[in-house]
Homo-oligomer: A and B are copies of this chain.
Amino acid sequence: MPKRCARPQQAWDGELKFYDCRTAPSPRRVRIFLAEKGLDIETVEVDLGAGEQFSEAFRKVNPDCVVPALELDDGSVVSEVLAICQYLEELQPVPSLLGSTPEERARVTMWNAKVEQQGLWAMAEAFRNSAKGLADRAVTGPDAYPQIPELAERGHKRVEQFFRRLDDSLSETRFVAGDNYSIADITALVVVEFARWIKIATPDDAKNLSRWYAEVSGRPSAAV
C-alpha cells in the first residue's frame, strides 16, 4: 500500500489559519488532504456542538457559519472544501491529489462532484433531517429550517444507492477516479465512515467497495 504521507510534516511558513471541527465530516476532508500533503498549518477548533459557528466572531470569518474555512496570508477567507484543497494543491503540488493531466483533473473533479452530490449531500439530508440536536437546523448555514422526516428517509435510501454505484465503478478502477488516489477518495472515505456513524452501512456484498475501503482507510492520513 502506498504511504505517500509518510514524509515528515512540514510547518507552512505563511500565515494560513485553518478553521476546523473534529467531529464534522466536511472539515475532515481538509484534514485528510493536509495529512496527505504533509502540511501542518495553524488550526482553530470551532465548537459546532456549542453553536460557535453562529457567534459574531466566527461570522466575521465566514458569514455562511460553516467550517472548514481557510484564512490566507492577506486575511481573506476561503471556504468550501474544494476551493480550500485547490489552494493547498497549488501551494504544495506534490503529491497531486487533484490530478496530473487535464484528463485526469477533469475525471477527479467529476468524481468528487458525484461523490458530493450522490453521497455527501444525501448523507447530510439523512443526518440533518433526523438528528435530535438539529431540530431547526436541517440546512447548514445561518438560517433556521425545520426538519423534513421524509427527506431523512430519502437521504438514507440515496446513500445506499450511492454505495451500490460506487461498488460497481470500483470493479473497474483501483481508486474512485481511476488509477491514482485523489480528493474523490477522501470525500468517499468520509461519506462511508460518517454514514456508518449514523447507521447507514455499506452493503455486505459490495466487494469492490470493501477492497477499496480497506486500502484507503489504511493510509496514515485516515487517522485524522
Contact = CB atoms under 8 A, between A and B. Distances in A.
Of the four ranges (under 10, 10 to 19, 20 to 34, 35 or more), the interface on chain A belongs to 35 or more
A15 to B, nearest CB: 13
A76 B103 contact: yes
A171 to B, nearest CB: 13
How many identical chains are in the complex? 2
- Would you list the 3 A-B pairs with minimal beta carbon distance, nearest first? A83-B110, A83-B109, A87-B106
29 contacts: A72-B103, A72-B106, A78-B110, A80-B109, A80-B110, A80-B113, A82-B113, A83-B106, A83-B109, A83-B110, A84-B106, A86-B105, A86-B106, A86-B109, A87-B102, A87-B103, A87-B106, A90-B102, A90-B105, A138-B154, A139-B154, A139-B158, A143-B161, A145-B157, A148-B148, A148-B150, A148-B151, A150-B150, A150-B151
